[in-house]
Amino acid sequence: MWFERFVIIVTSLYRDYIPGSWSYYSPQWPEVGFYLGTFGLFFTCYFLFAKYFPVIAVAEIKFILKTSGENYKNKMKVIEDQTLEEFVHEVETHHSHDEHLIEKIGH
């Protein structure tokens, strides 16, 4: 008797009463088109946003401005115009000055 009830319930729930719902679902071409269109719309908006509001790291901009700004170029011009001996003397002077400061601080 329990097996009979199981057969009645399971077989009645296995298929719906509407014959149109007895097969597997397969999308039609408009549904596939709408689905692909959502990707197209998303990427269009994404690329337009990236074009007009780009995401730029502030650290990179600071580095670029430091190495390409007029102030940096003017300071580098003085160093570039030095001879090798003047440059080496200046580096050694700064190095000995730094060592003196380190000794003075006590580190």
Q: What is the pLDDT of residue 74?
A: 80
Average pLDDT over residues 3-22: 72
Beta strands in the chain (DSSP E): none
pLDDT tens by residue, 16-47 = 777 777 777 778 899 999 999 999 999 999 99
pLDDT tens by residue, 63-90 = 777 667 777 778 778 888 888 888 888 8
The torsion angle over the Cα atoms of residues 26, 29, 34 and 36, rounded to 10 degrees, is 90
Greater model confidence, 58 or 84:
84
Q: Tell me how far apart the alpha carbons of residues 27 and 57 are, in angstroms, rounded to a whole number.
A: 44
